[in-house]
A and B are shown apart, each in its own frame.
Chain A
Amino acid sequence: MPAAVVMVVVLGIFALGYRYYSAYLAKRVYALDPSFVTPAHTFRDGIDFVPTNKHIVFSHHFISVAGAAPIVGPAVAVFWGWGPALLWVVAGTVFAAGVHDFGALAVSVRHKAKSIGTLAGEVISARSRVLFLLILFFLLTMVNAVFAVVIGILLDGNPATVLPVLVTIPLAIGLGQIVYRRRTPALVPSIICLIVVYAFIPLGVAVPVSLDPLAGALGMSAQTLWVLLIFVYAFFASRLPVWMLLQPRDYVNQLQMVLALTVIFLGVVVGWDAIVAPVVNDVPAGSPPWFPLLFVTIACGAVSGFHSLVSSGTTSKQLDKETDARYVGYLASTGEGALALCSILACTAGVVATAGEWEGLYSDFATASDGAVGNFVGGVAGFAANLGVPTAVGTVFAALVVISFAATSMDTGVRLQRYIIQEIAEITGFRPLARNLTAATAVAVLIPLALALVPGNFAFGTLWQLFGTTNQLTAGLALSVIAVWVTKNSRNPIAVLVPLVFLVVMTTWALVVNLQGFVTSGDPMQMFLLAPLDVAIFVLAIWLIIEAAIALRKAFALRGTPQGRPSTEEAAGRDETQ
């Protein structure tokens, strides 16, 4: 089947979901009110609370939620065939991600723009705040470890990418200096930065940089050395002031993402490539089952709890009107679904021309997951070739995009991990760690570094699935908060409860399936590292189920009673205590 046809159909379904389903959610489930005074106005302070143009809020929300994760997950999951992966991306985006992202934004706006962690403590129970911190701790540990491995694989496998990647660092620092020290408008300098980055692609092809000699001298593999260097970079990047590196680098990446999406969509249409992968792959015996592992392998791109952190952390403080929540929350989730769609098409239509070649790339789960990112890069290079871009240049272009996304996610991830470690240290009374930024950052770097360097023959995809389970548990917690809020307000919570139950069941089931695999593997690393990790996440999942069930039972009991009605301040959009 032509990839372009699939693309048009899926984008059409997303458009219908936005037009009709999000309208239903806005009216019947979240009851958005155009006259509600949003926290951006009530608490306007020019720092956190700033009423902002909805198109700008949308673009930032989209860029914040999109990254390397919606690329990697689908690139692994097409191992089971493009049909199940695509179905989950489409259904997950329309009926779960949209509900979750939009709902987290709506509930936060109605509660003074509080974060989902704080709301979990208030709406579900005080214990839920600790649960939330622990889930986040595991989530960030996994995400930082996995992205470091992704970057290591790409830099090791594509030496031509090294120079263009390295040049983004001094360029971003230069951009920050020009914009913030010299007060120059950012438009022209940022375009120049992007041009210089792409000018370095042919240079990178001409002068590939390999760490093999140095790694050999140090007695380690080049990929391991890259992972070490990446964490050294992440340590300093997360300690530097944001304006100096993180913000300008993130901005250059935003421009790259827009360009990459344009190249993929145009390449698919112009090349009219056919999908050569099977709809449902006849996987070898002993492979992990697609049901339920598909639903944790593709987290970002179908539904991701990380989005609730963005929705309730920053976006809710910038909404000019409450009704903008639909446009920002729901539409951005379809944008991420579109990115996952690009990944599926790149790995099933762009990367190779025949079914035989594809079977070589996805011969078993370990091969599929280890090569997933490389397959995406090859697929995008194939689409770029349809537009006349030489394959060598297209490959570096695609690898650069994935590395940039993963690096920015790591910069933010390590920074967030530092906050979580400080908060956990504060709760447990371990003051030296709570108050020492450098020590907290060092811990935030060392734990995922240890996980990324763990020797063993388990597949990268296994670690990815564990990351997926923590991500889905975060989504489960956010959906519980939304469901309790909707129920208390005497509205029909079924649109929230269905994805909540589905996610919690699939995640716990996936954890049990993985645990069986780890325990029976005979590999010490799987038995004594991944299995305990899996058990810890499983305990958090059970804890979440119990907390959510208790809170929902109470919320249903309160429906229609005076305690169950929205507070005056919530109803009026005013905080009476201010």
Chain B
Amino acid sequence: MTGRWERLRSAWRRIEEFHQEWFDARWRHVLRREARTQQDTLRAMLLLQTLGVEDPASYETLDVIPYMVADLHEWHQRMGRETFGDAGVCC
């Protein structure tokens, strides 16, 4: 009984995964680009904050800055700058 139940659950999960792929695929690129634009805006805001520009949400965003630093290299390259500029920051 348990084996049959497990098989059923596994089959249902496979159907759900296939369906999710179907649901996502057509608009995937638009959705991910929108998400990336939002992330880029946040990153730009955090970068400005680290450079001393006042940010009313700085208390809340302080925790996020290490994540921004971790992704900094990939981000500035995507934004069109091969090197970050400040020596020793990331490249």
Which A positions have Cβ atoms within 8 angstroms of B? 46-48, 50, 52-53, 56-57, 59-60, 63-64, 179, 185-187, 190, 241-243, 246-247, 250-251, 314, 317-318
Complex-state Cα separation, A314 to B32, whole angstroms: 14
B7 proximal to A (CB < 8 A): no
Known A-B contacts A187-B16, A243-B34; A47 and B28 likewise in contact (beta carbons under 8 Å)? yes
Q: Are B27 and A247 in contact (CB under 8 A)?
A: yes
Q: Which residues of B have CB within 8 Å of A241?
A: 34
B22–chain A nearest beta-carbon distance, Å: 5
Q: How many Å lie between the Cα of A242 and that of B26 in the bound state? A: 11
Does B23 make an interface contact (CB < 8 A)?
yes
Q: If the complex has contacts A185-B16, A187-B15, A187-B16, are A46 and B23 also in contact, measured as CB distance less than 8 A?
A: no
Give Cα A318–Cα B24 distance, bound, in whole angstroms. 13
B22 and A59 contact, CB distance less than 8 A: yes
B3 → A minimal CB distance (Å): 24
Instruction: Tell me which residues from 2 to 30 in chain B have a Cβ below 8 Å from any Cβ of chain A.
Output: 15-16, 19-23, 25-30
Closest B residue to A313 using CB positions = B29
Instruction: Decide if B20 touches A47 in the complex (CB within 8 Å).
Output: no
**Minimum CB distance partner of B30 in chain A:** A242
Q: List 22 A-B contacts (CB under 8 A).
A: A47-B29, A47-B36, A48-B33, A50-B25, A50-B29, A52-B21, A56-B21, A56-B25, A59-B22, A60-B25, A185-B20, A187-B15, A187-B16, A190-B23, A242-B27, A242-B30, A243-B31, A246-B27, A247-B31, A250-B26, A250-B27, A314-B29
Known: A185-B16, A187-B15. A47 touches B33 (CB 8 A): yes
Closest to B24 in A: A186
With both beta carbons as reference points, the residue of chain B lying nearest to A185 in the complex is identified as B16
Instruction: List chain B positions with a Cβ less than 8 A from chain A.
Output: 15-16, 19-23, 25-34, 36
CB distance from B74 to the nearest CB of A (A): 12
Q: What residues on B are CB-neighbors of A56 within 8 Å?
A: 21-22, 25
Whole-angstrom CA separation of A247 from B20 in the bound complex = 13
Min C-beta distance of A155 to chain B, whole Å: 26
Chain A residues with Cβ below 8 Å from B29 are 47-48, 50, 314, 317
Q: How distant is the Cα of A186 from the Cα of B16 in the complex, in angstroms?
A: 8
Q: Enumerate chain A residues within 8 angstroms of B16, measured Cβ to Cβ.
A: 185, 187
Query: Are B26 and A63 closer than 8 Å at their CB atoms?
Result: yes
A247 proximity list for chain B (CB < 8 A): 26-27, 30-31
Chain B neighbourhood of A318, CB < 8 A: 25
**Complex Cα spacing A317 to B25, Å:** 11
Residues of A within 8 A of B20 (CB): 185-187
4 tightest A-B CB contacts, nearest first: A60-B26, A186-B23, A247-B27, A47-B32
| A63–B26 alpha-carbon span in the complex (Å) | 9
Query: What residue of chain B has the Cβ atom nearest to residue A247's Cβ?
Result: B27
- The answer to whether B21 and A53 touch across the interface, beta carbons within 8 angstroms, is yes
Chain B nearest CB, measured from A74 CB (Å): 25
Chain A neighbourhood of B31, CB < 8 A: 242-243, 247
Asked if residues A50 and B28 are in contact (CB atoms below 8 Å), the reply is: yes
Contact A186 B19 (CB under 8 A): yes
Of B22, B26, B33, the residue contacting A64 (CB under 8 A) is B26
